[in-house]
Structure 1
Amino acid sequence: MKPLKVLQLLPALDSGGVERGTLEIARALVAAGHESVVLSKGGRLVEQLQREGSRHIQRDLGRKSPATFLQYRALRTLFEQERFDVIHARSRLPAWVAWLAWRGMPAHARPHFVTTVHGMHSVSRYSAIMCAGERVIAVSDTVRDFIRTHYPPSRWPHLADERITVIPRGIDPAEFPRDYQPSDEWMARFHTEFPQITGRKVLTLPGRLTRLKGHHDFITLVRTLLSDGLDVVGLIVGGEDPKRPGYAKEIRERVQADGLGERIVFTGHRSDVREIYAISDCVLSLSSTPESFGRTVLEPLAMGRPVVGYAHGGVAEILGELFPHGAVAKGDVAAASRSVRSILAGHAEAVRVNHRFLLGEMQSETLSLYSFFFQNH
């Protein structure tokens, strides 16, 4: 089969799951001998993208303004000049502009149009563009079910089931290896920075300081275990949301009010989460809204570290596959506390080896989907 020329579109290349997935597919395209192009307004990941063999086109299609839609003419010209084989839209506003450009091309000259539904957006005509691809990728069974429920074929005739393909996000086992042990130097540094953890069982809640992540439930859980006589310390690993500084202040004040200043530690944003997972006796996932996937659940589980989480959305899928013992009902802090207690007592079964949520599988399935359009050519 001929090498393909694939364009991925997204608002920016700064950080986040969509950006990470874009780079992972770009890398796979280059490795397979295809031509990889990414269009965004730019960002700190552009340098890495280009270093790994892809080309970047700078256009701002993410600015929420009526003027952004008017870029469809220039985008159509770009499509005609570049003659892409596949256009892959990963975000709503870029998808709209790309679709307007694509729709106006002669059918025989159009590239194939693919979309990925990364999250469970508000249900609206605006969001429906993410279901407009000739093939629609859902990042989990949860997202597929969300599409089926809110964009049924009775109202969206083009969205028959065969157009939706579930391709779960995946991780590289080399990045999060099973039974990983941090270096002695890292251990010494971390214990110096956070001496409160020394000699205690470590519970970790990863994720930015936003209300959805369940920090109040985490504080309650730590307090419950301490009152049961367990010698635990809780790590809250994540940076503050600059748009909501009041919430971070609220959480810190709650910790002090509950007398947990020595037992709950705020690490801030960290680039060494792998090492933190490795020293954690249990990782928590207490999000109040369902995650479309749940990478911060998968990463520690892949390393063999137990996770206790609210079993909804993508988190339920991952726990069901790798560590059913850790699944508890949403909002049931008492059940989460019992699960953590049994894990710390050594009564839980081992975490299963991750064979399903693998980066290599995600990459090969996505490239196979691109190639599907050309199999009969």
Structure 2
Amino acid sequence: MERGTLEIAAHLVSQGHRSLVMSAGGRMVSALEAAGSSHFTYPIGRKSLLTFLLIPQLRALWQREQVDVVHVRSRFPAWVVYLAWKGIPVAQRPRLVTTVHGYYRPGWYSRIMTCGERVIVISKTIQAYVQREYQVDKRKLQLIYRGVDTSQYALGYQPDDDWKQAWFAEYPHMQGKRLLVLPARLSRWKGATDFVEMLRIVCQQHKDVHALLVGEVASDKQCFAAELQQKIHAAGLSEHITLTGYRQDVKQIMAMASIVYSLSTEPEAFGRTTLEALSLGVPVIGYQHGGVAEQLAALLPEGAVPVGNVAEVAMLTLSWLAQPPKVLPNMQFSLHAMQQRTLDVYQDVIAGAGWGD
């Protein structure tokens, strides 16, 4: 179960609607139920033909609970839900909504995410992908950007003294340094190599900067991590860069940063962490593609750099270390806007007829 599901569910309850969530369970269930939703534990995401045996139970559940809208957010559950939905007489069906969250591999299996009566896309980039690969009727598509809670990610937020004390106790070598942060799991395509190369250039002029790679190192990325450490050592940057691994306090780390980066060599479907940094008022330098380019266009246009142009990333970093830019307030990508626009889609699809399946 993902965070976006909890956010939409909580809003439904706050607006006086019932929210029912079906998943295999997990650590977020208690928070979901505490916010007023009902959870049904089904192995709906298990990739097995046996999962299709749940179809009669799904139909019975929808009828018993008088479900108005079914919203699916993942491909295999979408197949199970769609087959259950198609087998119900049209007049008795709940309405069907899907969300396309990313660049699925094109083909019949992924096409299921475009079979909703309304299809939510999370960025203009994903909207273009859906129209290009699946020729979806544009009347079905609804662009709803993912959003952040701007009361939690407030402009100018700073971590409290207790957090800072614990941080500098763990990383005393960062005292008095200006932090450059790449918040992303360690992966070749997430831009770690470009980040190190950028730092090599910047450190020729600034010795008071320290770079942080903040993100999980998965078991299948250990070889890449070792390769990256060798590059860092060979470049003489061992004292200027730290790999923190997975952290739960990314918000606090980004708030302390002078600059945050998004250097993914493949376009991000949206890029939530980047938006969190911008919402905090922290400048972001990002490659100009995907959802990150859309965020930068709205909040910090000068932060967009051509994909792969490490030299320009370095030059912009040097410029911003001398004179930080001003980030515009995040008015466009708020959590409340995402929640309300999703509810609007539900109400619209209930009120109107669908455009086929």
The TM-score range, normalised by the shorter chain, is over 0.9
The counterpart of 1:246, out of the listed 220, 223, 241, is: 223
Matched-pair contact (CA < 8 Å) for 2:287–2:304: yes
Q: Would the aligned equivalents of 1:196 and 1:263 in 2 still touch at CA under 8 Å?
A: no
| Aligned counterparts of 2:286 and 2:350: Cα–Cα separation in 1 | 42
Show CA shifts across 1:232-263 (max 9, x none): 11011112113433222322333233322211
Which residue does 1:88 correspond to in 2?
71
| 1:239-289 CA distance string (max 9 Å, x none) | 211343322232233323332221111112111112111110000100011
3-state SS of paired residue (2:330):
coil
User: What SS does structure 2 have at the residue aligned with 1:42?
Assistant: coil
Compared CA separation, residues 133 and 376, structure 1 to 2 (3 A)? closer
> What residue is the counterpart of 2:322 in the other structure?
345
The corresponding residue for 1:46 is: 29
**TM-score, normalised relative to structure 2:** 0.95
User: Deviation at 1:182?
Assistant: 1.6
RMSD (Å) for aligned C-alpha atoms: 1.5
SS in 2 for 1:204: strand
Cα distance in 1 between the residues matched to 2:223 and 2:38: 40
Say whether residues 1:32 and 2:20 are aligned partners.
no
Q: Which has the higher contact order (CA 8 A, sep 6+)?
A: 2
The 5 Å alignment of 1:83-232 reads: 83-152=66-135, 159-232=136-209
Does the 8 A contact of 1:238 with 1:270 survive in 2?
A: yes
How many angstroms does 1:72 deviate by?
2.4
Distance, in Å, in 1 between the alignment partners of 2:350 and 2:119 is: 17
Pairwise CA distance, 1:187: 1.5
C-alpha contact 2:95 2:350 (8 A) present in aligned 1: no
Total equivalences in the alignment? 353
Shift of 1:325: 1.1
Q: Which runs of 5+ in 2 are unaligned?
A: none
The alignment partner of 1:88 has SS state of: strand
1:65 counterpart (35, 39, 48): 48
Match of 1:318 in 2: 295
Instruction: Report the Cα offset of residue 230 of structure 1.
Output: 4.7
Q: Distance in 2 between matches of 1:298 and 1:28?
A: 21
- Does the aligned pair in 1 maintain the 2:154–2:280 contact within 8 Å? yes
Pick one of 336, 344, 349 that aligns with 1:360.
336
SS in 2 for 1:162: coil
Query: Deviation string for 1:294-351 (max 9, x for gaps)?
Result: 11111111111100010100000001110011100111111111111111010x5311
Residue 29 of structure 2 contacts residue 39 of structure 2 at CA under 8 Å; is this kept in 1?
yes
Q: CA offsets per residue over residues 73-108 of structure 1, 9 Å max, x none?
A: 332232233221000000000000000000000111
Q: Provide the C-alpha distance between the structure 1 equivalents of 2:194 and 2:336, rounded to a whole number of angstroms.
A: 35
Shift of 1:190: 1.0
Percent identical residues: 44
| 1:131, distance to aligned residue in structure 2 (A) | 0.3
Q: Structure 1 length as normaliser, TM-score? A: 0.90
- After TM superposition, give the deviation of residue 41 of structure 1 in Å: 0.5
C-alpha distance in 2, partners of 1:27/1:74?
Answer: 25
